[in-house]
Amino acid sequence: MRFARRIESLPPYLFAQLDKKLTAKRDSGADVISLAVGDPDLPTPRHIVEALQEAAEDPTTHQYPSYYGLPAFRVAVADFYRRRFGVTLDPDTEVLALIGSKEGLAHLAFAVLDDGTEALVPDPGYPVYATATMLAGGRPVPFPLDAAGGFLPDLDSIHPSPDATMMWLSYPNNPTAAVADGAFFDRAVAFASRHDLLLCHDAAYSEITFDGYVAPSILSTEGGMGVAIELGSLSKTYNMTGWRIGYAVGNRDAIRALGTLKTNLDSGIFNAVQRAGVAALTGPQDHVEEMRAVYQKRRDTVVSSLQEIGMPVEPPLGSIYVWAPVPDGRTSEQFAAELLEEAAVVVSPGTGYGKQGEGFVRISLTVADDRLQEAMDRIRERLG
pLDDT in tens, 365-378: 999 999 999 999 99
What mean pLDDT do residues 299-318 have? Answer: 96
How does pLDDT run across 120-165, given as a tens digit for each residue?
999 999 999 999 999 999 999 999 999 999 999 999 999 999 999 9
> Which CA distances in Å does 145 have to 136, 250, 301?
24, 25, 26
What pLDDT score does 15 carry?
61
| Domains recognised in the chain with CATH numbers | 5-43+286-383 (3.90.1150.10), 46-282 (3.40.640.10)
pLDDT above 90 for 384: no
Tell whether pTM > 0.85. Answer: yes
pLDDT band at 4 (very low <50, low <70, confident <90, very high): confident
Rounded to the nearest integer, the mean pLDDT of the chain is: 95
